[in-house]
Amino acid sequence: MGRPPASSGAFLPFSANNNHHRSESPSSNSVHEGLVSRSTRDWRDGFLYSAYGFLRRIMSGKKIDGGSRTAEEEKVYSWLYSLARSDKDIVFEYVHSTERGLSFAEAERRLQENGPNTPLGYSFPRWWHLLWNAFFHPFNIILIVLSVISYVTSDSPNGCIMLVLVFISVSLRFYQEFGSSKAAMKLSEFVRCPVKVQRCAGRLIQTELVVQVDQKDIVPGDIVIFEPGDLFPGDLRLLSSKHLLVSQSSLTGESGTTEKMADVKEEDRTPLLDLRNICFMGTNVISGSGTGLVVSTGSKTYMSTMFSAIGKQKPLDDFERGVRRLSYVLVGVMLILVTIIILTEYWTSHELSESVLFGVSVACALTPQMLPLIVNTSLAKGALAMAKDRCVVKSITAIRDMGSMDILCIDKTGTLTMDRAILNDHLDCWGKTGEKVLQFAFLNSYFKTDQKYPLDDAILAYVYTNGYRFQPSKWIKVDEIPFDFIRRRVSVIIETETSSADASQKFQDRYMVTKGALQEVMKVCSFIERIDARSVAEFTAEEYQRILNLGEEVSNEGLRSIAVAVKRLRPDENIRGDDDADEIVESDMVLLGLITFFDPPKDSAKQALWSLAEKGVKAKVLTGDSLALAIKVCEEVGIRTTHVITGPELELLDHDSFHETIQRATVLARLTPIQKLRVVQSLQTVGNHVVGFLGDGINDSLALDAANVGISVDSGVSVAKDLSDIILLEKDLNVLVAGVERGRMTLGNTMKYIKMSVIANIGGVISILIATLFLRFEPLRPSQLLTQNFLYSVGQIAIPWDKMEEDYIKVPRRWSKKGLLTFILWNAPVCTLCDTATLFFYLFYYQAYRDRDAQFFRSGWFVEGLLMQTLIIHLIRTEKIPFVQEVASWPVLLSTVVISAIGIVIPFTAVGKVLEFVSLPLSFFGFLVVLFIGYFTVGQIVKRIYILVYNRWL
């Protein structure tokens, strides 16, 4: 007939797309090095190593290179390519095995040498390592040192409070990290199953035995036997195969299948995952059978090179890094100022113990003790709010990261689309809508009973909802040839009665209706129907190519397609006579046309993406599907498609071009899991972005773990959910919009506390230093200073319930490396200025500079300092004029009123007498009114100048 042979590519039933991920070209490393090299990623025990690792992470400025391949990957690539290019005999020599298999003794020896066959080649940290890392934090060390000194100086209550705060902080962090460290271990569940292995036994005569061995006991050199449903326990070089179709979705993310064959020799330019004689650990057999020689196990497999990055390469959090730097600054300032204050106090009083106690009290006042509580309360509040939006927050720190997130990487299926098929059109062989094509596709789907696929449901739904009357009740099913992954088509034999022209006779019309993958249906077609001319023509080579081009055009439009063919049978034709009856019947058919389908975009997706864009979060689509399909969906939901690229194209780029392309591209299709990881890392390191990743499959695990915010869904696989920070109970991007807003509110309120407490504390301590130099007595006694600090700290608990201005949540917010120091230098002097004004008011107006005036001075200094620290939140929390243009939330206002009232009343109460306070004159409160009016005036002027210079406030 002249029809060209059909392609041997394989894919899921009724799918017209066959896009496999392409991997990187082989490396130049030697085969022997790839075989014998061992992983050195062992977790070292010991206190000193833990401390060293912590310091190294703190001091190291090295960034992850998102465009580079690791040495382990190079070895694996070189090894597998060498085996794929070699004959079977050479492969046996490489792994030191025979066609009979390994003996039991040799297998045991290799198991002892190589270790258990687990997909991850490193040990997980022990719980005490995680506890030490959680404990060894500069902020915790500050509080512990101060608490010890407090106990030594008989200030037990203050020391106890600080230890409780440390306990809360360490417990929360340990709990989060301990849960995350176990997530990657669940990867082994995907390859934990019994495996059929050929072993040899006998001393004189070797006998081949087939035994079942646990996956973890498989070693290089084993010959495994597999059939449908089996998982490959390692990387295999095929020895024999029969109609073997393999699903590599765990590695590629594509739902399609790949045809594997043993009797081929591959070339260097073939992408790794397209090697037909290599099967990979973690993939599974869809249909067919065969045998394979295990060439790599455990940490040396391709799967291990992918997932060994889990838990190791996640970038440091900007906020944690900033808090750590802040701790170092506070330690430095504390050592300098407290030392000066202790020496000055000792020089005045000559009482060492009193001087040290006063210095410790000043150090406590300098430390933002409520930071762990404020941070965790803010995050917990955000987590509870997101729970109401059907969103489970596993790692509460992810809420803060969502506030900083400026890029969201998402998969297409089920996120932008509804993850179901909708019939788009029914085309004849010339691309025109034809009802006859739809009629026979409907009859095929209606009468098939073997298994209903989503495409069948889509066909039936389309016919019923559009009013077609194909009257299936007039047809009777005779037989069915079910779908299988070799033929990739399904046929039903149906018949109906038709009347002759004079209606006196009736005939039985019997048809075989076939639908399935385009190329597989065309294989059994010898004719093509000209529906407009109501005739049948021969299916020539030219027509064959034209239909292929039509299918490609449909695919380029982002649509899936299946072909429909029909054949008229004789009523008495034998269709089940022998083993080859199916092949005989499915021949010389008439091709009718194509049915096209699409996965419709979600109605909410476009609005959600628009809302995210308005808030400065750009969306990038990272998918394993074809580029054409990804582009079509993105155009439907409003994502720009001017810069697109595929995974195979990324592999051809050099280092610089890779990173430049990643920054520009909005749609990246046909990506492997490793490529998704490198895209995320490139955006983080080179682009300096905070990246969120939304995924739900095993192939998304790498990117989920590396992203600043890993997001999965409740229907995702267990590994993806374990490695994610946030789990959506429904795939709706609008939940993420709300999460971004809550994240920015959480970050904003946290930054309010940090900036407010640091400038108030530093400004206050400098004021104490100045007062100590001017006065002959302590400005405040240790008990008074600690009481003031306690009341001030309690008053800040309401900050997480404060509101944020609309302008603040419109754009992503991040911790500024230089911003905090600059903020302190601008605003702390304002606090010191007001305290100094109070000092000079006492010195010149009340002339209170002698020892007998100490109680009177301390009473006023206590009240003024507490009011200053309480009211400062209202100046810091907004860019606008406080109490005039912007008012805080009622919890913050209530907290301010209560703490201020307590501070004012204390000198007049019995508590004040215990603290050695005295009553204050009315003139002092008049001075405070003038002082704070001046403070807010000067502070607002400094604020406006600061905003003009740096174009930001918080």
Cα angle for residues 18, 20, 21 (degrees, 5° grid) = 155
Coarse DSSP helix, strand, coil percentages of the chain, rounded to the nearest 5 percent: 50, 15, 30
Contact 409, 694 (CB under 8 A): yes
Determine the pLDDT at residue 29: 33
φ, ψ (nearest 5 deg) of residue 659: -65, -40
CB atoms within 10 A of CB 370: 20
DSSP string computed for 789-843: HHHHHHHGGGGGG----TTGGGS-----TTHHHHHHHHHHHHHHHHHHHHHHHII
Distance CA 362, CA 769 (A): 10
Residue among 684, 687, 648 at smallest CA distance from 664: 687
Distance from first CA to last CA of the chain, Å, rounded? 77
Determine the pLDDT at residue 789: 79
Cα dihedral across residues 940, 942, 948, 952: positive or negative: negative
SS3 of 459-499: the string is: HHHHHHHCCCCCCHHHCEEEEEECCCCCCCEEEEEEEEEEE
Q: What is the mean pLDDT of each run of 10 residues along the chain (954 residues)?
A: 35 32 34 35 36 37 52 83 89 90 91 80 58 67 72 69 69 58 47 78 76 89 89 91 81 71 82 87 83 90 73 62 76 78 76 74 69 71 76 78 90 72 90 91 90 85 91 90 79 80 64 92 90 79 91 84 91 56 72 90 84 91 82 85 88 88 91 86 89 83 86 75 80 81 86 85 84 80 79 84 87 79 88 91 84 87 91 91 91 93 93 89 93 93 92 82
Residue among 824, 915, 827 at smallest CA distance from 863: 915
Cα dihedral across residues 70, 71, 77, 80: positive or negative: negative
CA atoms within 13 A on the CB side of 709: 29
Distance CA 939, CA 954 (A): 14
Residue among 954, 617, 611 at smallest CA distance from 805: 954
Determine the pLDDT at residue 372: 66
- For 88, the enclosing helix (H) or strand (E) is helix 88-94
Distance CA 43, CA 874 (A): 49
Distance CA 311, CA 539 (A): 57
Contact 43, 125 (CB under 8 A): yes
Q: What's 443's DSSP letter?
A: H
Alpha-carbon Rg of the chain, whole angstroms?
A: 37
Contact 849, 949 (CB under 8 A): no
Distance CA 236, CA 303 (A): 12
Contact 556, 54 (CB under 8 A): no
Q: What's 730's DSSP letter?
A: S
Q: Which residue has the tokens 């797309």?
A: 17
Tally of helices (H runs) and strands (E runs) in the chain: 33, 24
Provide CB contacts within 8 A for 161, sequence distance 6+.
Answer: 369, 790
Catalytic residue IDs: 411
Report helix, strand or coil for 594. strand
